[in-house]
Amino acid sequence: MEKAKIVIIGAGIIGLAVAAELSNSNDSVYVFEKNRRTGLETSSHNSGVIHSGIHYPRGSLKAELCVKGNSMIYELCKDYGIPFKKLGKLTVAVGDDEIRELERLRKNGEDNGVEGLKLLDTDEVRKLEPDIIVDRAIYTPSTGIIEPEDLMNHFLTKIQKNRATVAIETEITHIKKNDDGYELIGISVGERFSVQAETVINCSGLYADRVAAMAGMDIEKLGYRIRLCKGDYFRISGKPPVKMLVYPVPTRDGLGIHMTPDLSGSVRLGPNTYFVDGIDYKVESSEREFRDAVKRYLPSVVSYNIHPDSSGIRPKLKSQDNSFRDFIIKHEEDNGLPGFVNLIGIESPGLTASPAIGVYVADMYENDIKR
């Protein structure tokens, strides 16, 4: 049987970022990916936003790793010539309730260490974005956009330079714990295979709960069950109505239908939020839902043509009462699985946080796991 020091299951942006970091100072790092290419799932079905970190509760991994990841990504872009645009974002409020929520958000952002936040009135907003008509907004200068594929390619190049291995069309189907670590069994390019790993890092995105269950974990009891939460996008045809990112104040269900320019300037609306039973990227929502949501802050949307664009699926961790769930990034030693690390529920801001998650997991490996 083949032997590996570290096996990472899943080559989305998180598995790639973790592998890029770990292979800096470790030999024998393998990444197994079931698809015919890396990054074909959530990592290529998202908004491509480099988030600032204003949304997440203080002290959470989401807040810490988003704020760190935000500045790390801009550094990487500058150092390696990765295209990006630091466009800035407006989070807009209409009515007193939303203004109160906006003020809470600004305080939260400042507590999380997000710099340069400014509260703007109606006229100040219109100077920046003439078609946006709202009562107040927060301006966040550190929000930007990137093409996720470019960042994944950066991590892949680093992995190849460090002589680690990415095996595509290789799906792990069984995990058996033994005295030397874990035997991973699966199918690689149509053939059954197995590998013995000292350390296993589960970065399998929408399947991360299933992979944890393969290793024998009670995912219900541990709160690791994932629900698939889809978001559709529509695209505005013709001249873009905004240059910056424009978001409504968030609701309990998520960030709300927002406007995101891509690197070419073309603007997408969305994503919205609804739960699904299976993985299917067909846009299922109505144009009306999108127009009505955006009309509240961009009245001129009625005169634009919009058409279905794409969708993505979030790996949402279940919570009893719709309350906040943080990323799970955990060495499972206390659950009887030394050397097994779970990354579960890595929804937004996972893309932004990815380089910081790489460093976080590499530190965990060096300090708690390495023999």
| Site residues, ligand FAD (CB under 6 A) | 9-15, 32-35, 39-43, 45-49, 51, 171-172, 203-207, 211, 231, 271, 312-314, 346-352
Distances 181 to 4, 7, 197, 229 between C-alpha atoms, Å: 10, 11, 6, 34
Distance CA 96, CA 94 (A): 7
Cis before 271? omega within 30: yes
| Closer residue to ligand FAD (CB): 158 or 314 | 314
Q: Could you give the 3-state DSSP secondary structure of residue 59?
A: coil
What's the sign of the alpha-carbon dihedral 94, 95, 99, 102? negative
Smallest separation (angstroms) from ligand FAD to the CB of 42: 4
State the minimum distance, in angstroms, from the CB of residue 37 to ligand FAD. 9
Residue positions counted in the chain: 371
Minimum Å gap between C-beta 99 and ligand FAD is 25
Q: How far is the CB of 198 from ligand FAD (least distance, A)?
A: 18
What are the residue ranges of helices labelled H in 216-349? Answer: 219-222, 287-295
Is 126 or 273 the residue whose CB approaches ligand FAD more closely? 273
Q: Least distance (Å) from ligand FAD to the CB of residue 223?
A: 18
Q: Which is nearer to ligand FAD, 241 or 271 (CB)?
A: 271
Helix ranges (H only) for the chain are 13-22, 61-80, 96-111, 122-128, 148-161, 208-214, 219-222, 287-295, 350-364
Token representation of residue 43: 């990592």
